[in-house]
Structure 1
Amino acid sequence: MAVLKQFGILFGLGIAGIAMLTITSAPLVDRQLAKLSPEMLAKVPPLWVLMLLQGLQLTVLLAIGISIGIGCAYRVGLHSHLIDYWVLHTPKIPFSVIEMKWSLGLGAATTIVILSIDRLMKPALPEALQASNRTEPNWLSSLTAMLYGGITEEILLRWGLMSLLVWIGWKVLKQGITLPSKGIYQGAIVLAALVFGLLHLPATAAIVPLTPLVVIRAILLNGIAGIAFGWLFWQYSLEAAMLSHVSVHAFSFALNLLLARFV
């Protein structure tokens, strides 16, 4: 019963991001379909079928990620406040002020770093990618990024993947008696962050060809953020990583809006 409660809590959080992404990405997919020839378009399923398949695929991945995390996270000292409070009934404050400060502080710092690097690399990027970055920030896409990126991706990549990597390292190095060493956590944080960066390449590939510079940019920007979120998951909780990820998208939206208006 406890396992089902854990699954239900995280699934309810994650599915909201998937639903939002499925809805808001439909116009982009429709524009991609419009570029196809009539002969090729005739072989492609209708838009609603494509979006349903995308949503189902992500839902299956979410279920797998949650299940992996349930099996691994608590065994290696990683945890979620929501599960602590609602499932394990841990008598402690769910989210401390210090934790919130670290989450928002790292979110703000990460935003400044990745926006600065992005601006430094901008002159060398393909024109199509530069043009996509010049568009005025959209509140709906930013909200989608906060829900899907900030919550669903954290469940997939921190709760699921990072917990699994820590558990594998723990077992391989025969550290089953005590908690994993710092090196195992740090290695898992970096590997999960690398995967986080690589998973953003398909979206980039829809805009421009994947040149070495474009690939490095995607891995670098998302990897820096992934390391910050992974550290927060290790030191504090899944919710700390979620809050920081959400704040990065919120701060990015606000800063890009200011830059678009006044620069």
Structure 2
Amino acid sequence: MAILKQFGILFVLGSVGIVMSTIASIPLVEQQLAKLSPETLEKVPPLWILMLLQGLQYSILLAISILIGIGCAYRVGLRSHLIDHWVFHIAKSPSFAVEMQWSLGVGVAATIVLLLLDRLMQPVLPEALQASNNTEPNWLSSLTAMLYGGITEEILMRWGLMSLLVWIAWKGLKQGVTLPGQGIYQGAIVLAALVFGLLHLPATAAIVSLTPVVIIRALLLNGIVGIAFGWLFWKYSLEAAMLAHISFHAFSFALSLMLARFV
């Protein structure tokens, strides 16, 4: 029963991001369909089926990640406040307010660092990528980034992948009697952040060819925030990583909006 409760809580949360991501991707899919010849288009399923299949694919990945995290996270000292409260009935941590401050602070710091790094790299980036970076952000894409990135991606990358990496190293190094050493957590944080960066390459490839500079940029920018969110998951909770990720996209949207209008 406890497993079902954990799964239900995280699946409902993650599904919100999947729904938003599916809705936001409809215009892009429509553009891709418009490029097809009439003969090819006749063989393609209707748009609603394509979007349903996309949502189903993401939902399966989400479910697998949740189950992995349920099996690994608490065994290696990683936690979720929602599961603590709603499943295990553990009282709220007295350091919760400090945790939230750290999350918001990391979100702000990550926004500033990545914006500066991206600006510094602009001269060596392809024109198509520069143009996409200089477009004024819209509320739908930003809201999708907050919900899918801030919630769903954190369940996939931190709760699922990072927990699994820590557990594998913990068992492989036969540290099963005590909690994993710092090096195991740190290695898992970096590896999960690297995977996080690699998974962003297909979206970049849809805009521009993947040259070494483009790949380095994607890995660097996404790797930095991935490490920051992983550290928060390790030191505090899954919700701390989620809040930092959400605030990162919220601050990025606000700052990009200001720069687009006043600079």
Same fold by TM (over 0.5)? yes
Supply the distance in 2 between the matched residues of 1:159 and 1:41 (Cα, whole angstroms): 39
Give structure 1 stretches of 5+ with no counterpart: none
What is the CA distance between 1:94 and its match in structure 2?
7.7
Task: Report SS of the residue matched to 2:128.
Answer: helix
Name 2:192's counterpart in structure 1. 192
Supply the distance in 2 between the matched residues of 1:219 and 1:105 (Cα, whole angstroms): 22
Greater mean alpha carbon deviation, residues 24-33 or residues 222-231:
24-33
Share of identical aligned residues, percent?
Answer: 79
1:238 partnered with 2:233: no
Name 2:141's counterpart in structure 1. 141
Q: What's the CA shift string for 1:57-105, capped at 9, x where partnerless?
A: 0000000000000000000000000000010011234871110111011
Name 2:64's counterpart in structure 1. 64
What is the CA distance between 1:125 and its match in structure 2?
1.2
Name 1:206's counterpart in structure 2. 206
Name 1:105's counterpart in structure 2. 105
Superposed CA RMSD in Å reads 1.1
Q: What's the CA shift string for 1:201-225, capped at 9, x where partnerless?
A: 1111111111111111111111100
Question: TM-score, normalised on structure 2?
Answer: 0.97
State how many pairs are aligned: 263
Q: Which amino acid aligns with 1:234?
A: W
Q: Residue 81 of structure 2 contacts residue 92 of structure 2 at CA under 8 Å; is this kept in 1? A: no
1:216 partnered with 2:216: yes
Name 2:164's counterpart in structure 1. 164
Q: What's the CA shift string for 1:104-154, capped at 9, x where partnerless?
A: 111111111111111111121111111111211101110010000000000
What is the CA distance between 1:37 and its match in structure 2?
2.9
Q: What's the CA shift string for 1:6-27, capped at 9, x where partnerless?
A: 0000001000000011011100
Greater mean alpha carbon deviation, residues 41-50 or residues 168-177:
41-50
Supply the distance in 2 between the matched residues of 1:34 and 1:112 (Cα, whole angstroms): 38
Give structure 2 stretches of 5+ with no counterpart: none
Question: TM-score, normalised on structure 1?
Answer: 0.97
Matches within 5 A, 1:1-263: 1-93=1-93, 96-263=96-263
Change (3 A) 1:68 1:94: farther
What is the CA distance between 1:39 and its match in structure 2?
3.4
Change (3 A) 1:93 1:180: closer
Q: Residue 232 of structure 1 contacts residue 241 of structure 1 at CA under 8 Å; is this kept in 2? A: yes
Supply the distance in 1 between the matched residues of 2:34 and 2:210 (Cα, whole angstroms): 22
Task: Report SS of the residue matched to 2:10.
Answer: helix
